[in-house]
Chains A and B, each alone.
Chain A
Amino acid sequence: MYHPHTESDREEMLKAIGKSSIEQLFDAVPKAFRFPELKLPPRLTEMEAMGLLQDLAEGNETSRDLPMFLGAGAYNHYIPAAVDFILKRGEFYTAYTPYQPEISQGTLQAIFEFQSHVVNLTGMEVSNASHYDGATAAAEALNMARMVSRNKRTKAVISPALHPHYRETIDTYIQGENFTVVGPELDPASSPDALFGLIDEDTAVVMVQYPDFFGRIYDLSALAEKAHAVGALLSVSVNPLALAMFKSPGEYDADIVSGEGQPLGIPLSYGGPYLGLLATKEKYVRTIAGRLVGETVDVNGKSGYVLTLSTREQHIKRDKAGSNICSNQGLMMLAATVYVSLLGREGLKEVAALNYHKAHYAAEQIASLDGFELWSDAVFFNEFAVRCPMPVAELNEELLDAGIIGGLDLGDAYPGMENVMLVAVTEMTSKEDIDYLVTALQEVANG
Chain B
Amino acid sequence: MAETTIYDKSSPGRRGVRFPQPDVPLTKLPESLMRKELPLPEVSENEVVRHFTRLSQLNYGVDIGFYPLGSCTMKYNPKVNEAAARLPGFALIHPLQPVDTVQGALHLMYELQEHLKEIGGFAGMTLQPAAGAHGELTGVLIIKKFHEVNGEPQRNKILIPDSAHGTNPATSAMSGFKVVEIPSDGRGNVDLEALRAECDETLAGFMLTNPNTLGLFDENVCDISALVHEAGGLMYGDGANMNALLGIAKPGEFGVDIMHYNLHKTFSTPHGGGGPGSGPVGVCERLVDFLPGPVVVAETIDDGFEMPFYRFDVPKYSIGRMKAFHGHFGMMVRAYAYILAHGAEGLREVSEYAVLNANYLMHKLKGVYKLPYDRVCMHEFVIEGRWSGIEDIHALDISKRLMDYGFHPPTNYFPLIVREALMIEPTETESIETLDAFAEAMLRIAEEAKTNPEILHEAPHNTPIGRLDEVQAAKNLILCCGLPTQYAE
Chain A nearest CB, measured from B335 CB (Å)? 12
Q: Which residues of A contact B428 (CB under 8 A)?
A: 2-3, 5
Q: Which residues of B contact A24 (CB under 8 A)?
A: 376
Bound-state Cα–Cα, A82 to B24, Å? 28
A342-B16 contact in complex given A58-B104, A270-B95, A295-B478, C-beta closer than 8 Å: yes
In the complex formed, the residue of B with least CB distance to A321 is B170
Whether the pair A100, B409 counts as a contact (CB closer than 8 A) is yes
Q: Which of A57-99 contact B (CB under 8 A)?
A: 57-64, 66, 68, 70, 72-74, 76, 78, 80, 82, 84-86, 88-98
Which among A29, A68, A315 has the highest number of chain B CB atoms within 10 Å?
Answer: A29
Instruction: Kindly state whether residue A371 has any CB partner on chain B within 8 Å.
Output: no
Bound-state Cα–Cα, A340 to B39, Å? 11
Whether the pair A268, B92 counts as a contact (CB closer than 8 A) is yes
Q: Which residues of B contact A82 (CB under 8 A)?
A: 16, 45, 48-49
Q: Which residues of A contact B105 (CB under 8 A)?
A: 56, 59-60, 270
Bound-state Cα–Cα, A405 to B99, Å? 12
Whether the pair B429, A347 counts as a contact (CB closer than 8 A) is no
Q: Which residues of B contact A396 (CB under 8 A)?
A: 98
Which among B25, B270, B400 has the highest number of chain A CB atoms within 10 Å?
Answer: B270
Known: A323-B170, A330-B271, A331-B270. 5 other contacts (CB 8 A): A38-B247, A94-B61, A96-B69, A291-B274, A304-B468
Instruction: Kindly state whether residue A132 has any CB partner on chain B within 8 Å.
Output: yes
Which among B72, B87, B254 has the highest number of chain A CB atoms within 10 Å?
Answer: B87
Instruction: Kindly state whether residue B163 has any CB partner on chain A within 8 Å.
Output: no
Chain B nearest CB, measured from A191 CB (Å)? 13
Which among B166, B250, B428 has the highest number of chain A CB atoms within 10 Å?
Answer: B166
Instruction: Kindly state whether residue B308 has any CB partner on chain A within 8 Å.
Output: no
Q: Which residues of A contact B357 (CB under 8 A)?
A: 13
Instruction: Kindly state whether residue A190 has any CB partner on chain B within 8 Å.
Output: no
Which among A13, A134, A353, A396 has the highest number of chain B CB atoms within 10 Å?
Answer: A13
Q: Which of B93, B173, B331 contacts A320 (CB 8 A)?
A: B173
Q: Which residues of A contact B324 (CB under 8 A)?
A: 73, 133-135, 163, 165-166, 169, 260, 271, 274
Whether the pair B341, A91 counts as a contact (CB closer than 8 A) is no
In the complex formed, the residue of A with least CB distance to B28 is A360
Whether the pair A41, B133 counts as a contact (CB closer than 8 A) is no
Chain B nearest CB, measured from A251 CB (Å)? 7
Instruction: Kindly state whether residue A129 has any CB partner on chain B within 8 Å.
Output: yes
Instruction: Kindly state whether residue B386 has any CB partner on chain A within 8 Å.
Output: no
Q: Which residues of A contact B22 (CB under 8 A)?
A: 353-354, 357-358
Q: A112-120, A153-161, A180-188, A198-206: which one contacts chain B?
A: A112-120
Whether the pair B465, A101 counts as a contact (CB closer than 8 A) is yes
Whether the pair B274, A348 counts as a contact (CB closer than 8 A) is no
Q: Which residues of B contact A171 (CB under 8 A)?
A: 320-321
Q: Which residues of A contact B85 (CB under 8 A)?
A: 269
A70-B97 contact in complex given A57-B89, A356-B29, C-beta closer than 8 Å: yes
Q: Which of A53, A80, A89, A246 contacts B34 (CB 8 A)?
A: A246
Instruction: Kindly state whether residue B203 has any CB partner on chain A within 8 Å.
Output: no
Instruction: Kindly state whether residue B370 has any CB partner on chain A within 8 Å.
Output: no
Q: Which of A113, A169, A272 contacts B7 (CB 8 A)?
A: A113
Whether the pair B170, A106 counts as a contact (CB closer than 8 A) is no
In the complex formed, the residue of A with least CB distance to B407 is A103
Instruction: Kindly state whether residue A228 has any CB partner on chain B within 8 Å.
Output: no
Bound-state Cα–Cα, A351 to B18, Å? 9
Interface bits A323-356 vs B (CB < 8 Å: 1, else 0) = 1111111111110001011111111111101101
Chain B nearest CB, measured from A83 CB (Å)? 9
Chain B nearest CB, measured from A411 CB (Å)? 13
Chain B nearest CB, measured from A40 CB (Å)? 5
Interface bits B1-26 vs A (CB < 8 Å: 1, else 0) = 01101110010001111111011111
Q: Which residues of B contact A245 (CB under 8 A)?
A: 29, 34-35
Instruction: Kindly state whether residue A442 has any CB partner on chain B within 8 Å.
Output: no
Q: Which residues of A contact B276 (CB under 8 A)?
A: 132, 272-273, 327, 329-332
Instruction: Kindly state whether residue B273 has any CB partner on chain A within 8 Å.
Output: yes
Whether the pair B325, A271 counts as a contact (CB closer than 8 A) is yes
Whether the pair A271, B27 counts as a contact (CB closer than 8 A) is no
Whether the pair B327, A91 counts as a contact (CB closer than 8 A) is no
In the complex formed, the residue of B with least CB distance to A167 is B321
Q: Which of A40, A68, A93, A349 contacts B94 (CB 8 A)?
A: A68
Q: Which residues of A contact B431 (CB under 8 A)?
A: 4-5, 9
Instruction: Kindly state whether residue A39 has any CB partner on chain B within 8 Å.
Output: yes
Q: Can you report 8 A-B residue pairs in the complex whose CB atoms are below 8 A from each other?
A: A17-B363, A38-B247, A40-B118, A85-B49, A97-B275, A272-B95, A342-B48, A405-B97
Whether the pair A43, B343 counts as a contact (CB closer than 8 A) is yes
Bound-state Cα–Cα, A46 to B329, Å? 20
Q: B217-225, B229-237, B281-289, B444-452: which one contacts chain A?
A: B217-225
Q: Which residues of A contact B150 (CB under 8 A)?
A: none
In the complex formed, the residue of B with least CB distance to A80 is B17
Bound-state Cα–Cα, A219 to B171, Å? 37
Instruction: Kindly state whether residue A176 has any CB partner on chain B within 8 Å.
Output: yes
Whether the pair B94, A41 counts as a contact (CB closer than 8 A) is no
A95-B131 contact in complex given A17-B359, A169-B322, A408-B96, C-beta closer than 8 Å: no
Instruction: Kindly state whether residue B161 has any CB partner on chain A within 8 Å.
Output: no
Whether the pair B343, A107 counts as a contact (CB closer than 8 A) is no
Instruction: Kindly state whether residue B182 has any CB partner on chain A within 8 Å.
Output: no
In the complex formed, the residue of A with least CB distance to B83 is A50
Instruction: Kindly state whether residue A287 has any CB partner on chain B within 8 Å.
Output: no
Whether the pair A136, B118 counts as a contact (CB closer than 8 A) is no
Bound-state Cα–Cα, A113 to B40, Å? 11
A405-B91 contact in complex given A102-B403, A344-B43, C-beta closer than 8 Å: no
Whether the pair B134, A59 counts as a contact (CB closer than 8 A) is no
Whether the pair B53, A86 counts as a contact (CB closer than 8 A) is yes
Whether the pair B321, A53 counts as a contact (CB closer than 8 A) is no
Bound-state Cα–Cα, A347 to B254, Å? 57
Whether the pair B376, A25 counts as a contact (CB closer than 8 A) is yes
Bound-state Cα–Cα, A173 to B404, Å? 44
Instruction: Kindly state whether residue A414 has any CB partner on chain B within 8 Å.
Output: no
Q: Which of A292, A330, A343 contacts B479 (CB 8 A)?
A: A292
A29-B58 contact in complex given A49-B80, A102-B463, C-beta closer than 8 Å: no
Q: Which of B230-271 contact A (CB under 8 A)?
A: 246-250, 253-254, 268, 270-271
Whether the pair A96, B271 counts as a contact (CB closer than 8 A) is yes
Whether the pair A25, B356 counts as a contact (CB closer than 8 A) is yes
Q: B193-201, B298-306, B344-352, B387-395: which one contacts chain A?
A: B344-352
Whether the pair A106, B43 counts as a contact (CB closer than 8 A) is no
Q: Which residues of A contact B57 (CB under 8 A)?
A: 91, 106
Bound-state Cα–Cα, A260 to B324, Å? 10
Instruction: Kindly state whether residue B418 has any CB partner on chain A within 8 Å.
Output: no
Whether the pair A40, B115 counts as a contact (CB closer than 8 A) is yes
Bound-state Cα–Cα, A343 to B327, Å? 28
Instruction: Kindly state whether residue B488 has any CB partner on chain A within 8 Å.
Output: no
In the complex formed, the residue of B with least CB distance to A250 is B35
Instruction: Kindly state whether residue B422 has any CB partner on chain A within 8 Å.
Output: no
Bound-state Cα–Cα, A98 to B468, Å? 13
In the complex formed, the residue of B with least CB distance to A397 is B98
Q: Which residues of A contact B24 (CB under 8 A)?
A: 357-358, 361, 431, 434
Q: Which residues of B contact A400 (CB under 8 A)?
A: 98, 101
Q: Which residues of A contact B15 (CB under 8 A)?
A: 344, 346-347
Which among B38, B275, B321, B357 has the highest number of chain A CB atoms within 10 Å?
Answer: B275
Instruction: Kindly state whether residue A441 has any CB partner on chain B within 8 Å.
Output: no
Q: Which residues of B contact A85 (CB under 8 A)?
A: 49
Bound-state Cα–Cα, A271 to B329, Å? 7
Interface bits A115-132 vs B (CB < 8 Å: 1, else 0) = 111011100001101101
Q: Which residues of B contact A320 (CB under 8 A)?
A: 173
In the complex formed, the residue of B with least CB distance to A85 is B49
Whether the pair A272, B330 counts as a contact (CB closer than 8 A) is yes
Whether the pair B93, A10 counts as a contact (CB closer than 8 A) is no
Instruction: Kindly state whether residue B277 has any CB partner on chain A within 8 Å.
Output: yes
Question: Which 10 pairs between the two chains have the least Cβ-Cβ distance?
Answer: A57-B89, A59-B104, A90-B63, A271-B325, A271-B95, A43-B343, A331-B272, A330-B274, A273-B276, A314-B170
Whether the pair B355, A26 counts as a contact (CB closer than 8 A) is yes
Q: Which residues of A contact B375 (CB under 8 A)?
A: 28
